[in-house]
Amino acid sequence: MELPTPAFTVDIDVVKRNTQKMIERFQVLGVRLRPHMKTHKTLEGGNLMTGGTRRGIVVSTLAEARLFADGGFDDILYAYPLPFDKVEECAALTERLEAFQVLVDSQEALGQLMKRRLSRGKRWQVELAGIYAHCGNTYGCSGIAEIQAVAQATTTATLEFMSELQKAGVACPASSIGSTPSCSHPVADMGKLTEVHPGNYIFYDVQQMRIGSCEMEDIAVRVLTRVIGHYPHRNQLLVDCGWTGLSLHSLGQLPTGYALVEGHPDLKLVGMTQEHGRIEPIAGNLDFSKFPLGSLLAVVPYHACATAAMHPAYYVHAQGKVVALWKPVRGW
């Protein structure tokens, strides 16, 4: 592959395996999978995550909602405390789709919705339709046992809350929890929920691997970068991937710096400017002859959502050939 660099690449076979495994995992548990679109923000990714049904997704922005609604998706949950400037657009989406759900967590937000009556016999989907929780604390885990302990605690808390609601005579049909770590290693009790909503697993990344959600072979994405400078007096390589190509999301705290260089666990991405990356050995002297000017390195992102967000196009490949270009939506 001789792509212009820096290039965000997606291994479609890995994506298909990741998305198919998640679908099967929750089919077995009898729980609906409502995948989150925020990591990739593409119609193609959404199609794979829903197994082609294009029904039942979560979005983080109205730009995503518009993209997916225009692309034939329906049953869209806008998982965000209703922003007051976006009521009109939420109304338009509710009127247009079979189901568009918003979240409210205050009396004031409910007031905003009540001021905007819907046409076409539609009602705002904000009755107490369900409990939506994100076990974000799985991101502090290390290993499957810790992930499953958090998954269990979140599931138990959610189910107990549902049970209290029922005792109080409050109808609340749905319970949904999410996060890629917990859904990659679900506990049996998650079978008692109605829904899960993970997102990152379409790509996975170094952060998920360190948490224990996945293995290296499950990470579908790379940033391809070229060696553009040799600086022996600094014991450093210069590459054409700066923070516009990777983001600063590990904050440089990995043993290998801001990311992993695939196949070179002895290298460290020590810093980036807007368009340059500086790579040096973790220890010892760099053998520059192994990294000729113009040669390619594959950088494995720490946080795939953040790295994907820096790229206007994804190069999708299968068995070493580019097979598609995916264009994500940006903005709000």
Q: Is 216 in the site for a copy of itself (CB under 8 A)?
A: no
Placement of tokens 């904050």 in the chain:
251
- What lies within 8 Å, CB to CB, of 214 at 6+ separation is 18, 184, 201, 204, 208
Q: Which is nearer to a copy of itself, 129 or 238 (CB)?
A: 238
Site string for a copy of itself, 274-313 (x = CB under 8 A): xx----------------xxx----------xx--xxxxx
Q: Which is nearer to a copy of itself, 196 or 239 (CB)?
A: 239
Rounded least distance, CB 178 to a copy of itself, Å: 13
3-class secondary-structure state, position 77: strand
Whether 113 contacts 129, CB under 8 Å: no
Whether 279 contacts 237, CB under 8 Å: yes
Task: Give one DSSP letter per residue of 15-53, joined into a string.
Answer: HHHHHHHHHHHHHHHT-EE--B-TTT--HHHHHHHTTT-
Q: Is 70 in the site for a copy of itself (CB under 8 A)?
A: no
Q: Which is nearer to a copy of itself, 48 or 82 (CB)?
A: 82
Q: Which is nearer to a copy of itself, 121 or 294 (CB)?
A: 294
Q: Which is nearer to a copy of itself, 80 or 161 (CB)?
A: 80
Whether 301 contacts 246, CB under 8 Å: yes
Whether 57 contacts 98, CB under 8 Å: no
Rounded least distance, CB 239 to a copy of itself, Å: 10
Among 74, 92, 161, 243, binds a copy of itself (CB under 8 A): 243
Among 52, 105, 115, 284, binds a copy of itself (CB under 8 A): 105
Q: Which is nearer to a copy of itself, 55 or 276 (CB)?
A: 276
Q: Is 84 in the site for a copy of itself (CB under 8 A)?
A: yes
Rounded least distance, CB 68 to a copy of itself, Å: 16
Q: Determine the interface stretch with a copy of itself among 14-22, 82-90, 207-215, 283-291 (rule: CB under 8 A).
A: 82-90
Q: Which is nearer to a copy of itself, 148 or 213 (CB)?
A: 213
End-to-end CA, the chain: 33
Among 121, 167, 171, 251, binds a copy of itself (CB under 8 A): 251
Apex 205 CA angle, 312 and 285, nearest 5: 95
**Phi and psi at residue 254, in whole multiples of 5°?**
-70, 155
Site string for a copy of itself, 116-145 (x = CB under 8 A): --------------------x---------
How far is residue 138's CA from residue 151's CA, in Å, rounded to a whole number? Answer: 8
By CB under 8 A, the count of residues binding a copy of itself is 49
3-class secondary-structure state, position 311: coil
Longest dimension (CA), the chain: 73
Mind spelling out the 3-state secondary structure of 243-306?
HHHHCCCCCCCECCECCEECCCCCEEEEEECCCCEEEEECCCCCCHHHCCCCCEEEEECCCHHH
Q: Is 192 in the site for a copy of itself (CB under 8 A)?
A: no
Return residues touching a copy of itself (CB under 8 A): 2-6, 38, 60-61, 80-86, 105-106, 108-109, 112, 136, 226, 228-230, 238, 240, 243-244, 247-249, 251, 273-275, 292-294, 305-306, 309-313, 330-332
